[in-house]
Amino acid sequence: MKTQTAENFSLKTISGVECAWDRCEKRFTGEMPVGWANLLVWWSALPAPWRTIGEVASGSDCKRDAVLCPKHVAELETLLKDIGGALRKPLGSA
Ligand SMILES: [Zn+2]
């Protein structure tokens, strides 16, 4: 069995931003291509609309700050329930 060693593995050969989906190796360099999506997951006891994306992403309650390729954006959508749009509506609002 051949194993990866420090001699034959170089971080210099890896560049760009990789899709966060397990076993997906799609990546891009430079600006994010159309069809890719940012995936930002965080915990908050209350909605905090005054926080910027940068504050959320750098906070200790951020669970995931990643990107998905177009194939896995579509696959994620099939796993989530339909909430009638991209944003949830607060409970009790009409
Ligand atoms: Zn992917």
35 occurs within a structural domain? yes
At 65 the pLDDT is: 94
Tell me which residue range forms the domain holding 58.
Answer: 18-79
38 occurs within a structural domain? yes
Q: Look up the pTM and report it.
A: 0.73
Total domains in the fold of the chain: 1
- Which range has the worst mean pLDDT, 17-26, 33-42, 60-69, 77-86? 77-86
* Separation between Cα atoms, residue 56 and residue 44, nearest integer Å: 10
For ligand 1, the distance from its centroid to the CA atom of residue 74, given in whole angstroms, is 10
For ligand 1, the distance from its centroid to the CA atom of residue 91, given in whole angstroms, is 33
- Quick check: helix, strand or coil at residue 67? strand
For ligand 1, the distance from its centroid to the CA atom of residue 18, given in whole angstroms, is 8
84 occurs within a structural domain? no
90 occurs within a structural domain? no
91 occurs within a structural domain? no
Q: What is the mean pLDDT of residues 37-64?
A: 90
Q: What is the mean pLDDT of residues 51-70?
A: 93
Beta pairing, strands 27-28 & 37-42: unpaired
> Do residues 73 and 35 make contact, with C-beta atoms less than 8 angstroms apart?
yes
Query: Given a cut of 60, is residue 38 above it in pLDDT?
Result: yes
